[in-house]
Amino acid sequence: MTMVLAILRARPEQADALDAALREVAEQTLREPGALAYTVGRQDGERFLVVERYADHAARQAHFAAPYVTGLLARFPELLAEEPLVEFADVLTAFAR
């Protein structure tokens, strides 16, 4: 299993647009066969945390190649106030109820 952690800071005037875009990507991602979880959190109005889990690296790669993801990534210059922080890791343990 593999995971992604992204920290995104929206431009103040684009925070709601980023919120809507992340919600849309989350809905579409959960229909992907290898997607296990896609969680979005919002802090202080303009900071977003995204935690994703995939069955394997191939599923993660397929996700990042999906048109709705590449479309969102292409919008980052207009939506974000700074470069996103994105980390990838192999999952050692996971707990969910």
CATH code linked to domain 2-90: 3.30.70.100
Measure Cα distances from 84 to 2, 6, 7, 49 in Å: 19, 7, 6, 10
pLDDT digits (tens, 9 = 90+) for 68-79: 999 999 999 999
pTM confidence score: 0.93
pLDDT digits (tens, 9 = 90+) for 35-69: 999 999 999 999 999 999 999 999 999 999 999 99
Measure Cα distances from 26 to 22, 31, 35, 76 in Å: 6, 9, 10, 16
The residue ranges of every structural domain in the chain are 2-90
> Residue 94 has what pLDDT?
86
Please provide residue 19's backbone torsions phi and psi, each rounded to the nearest 5 degrees: -55, -50
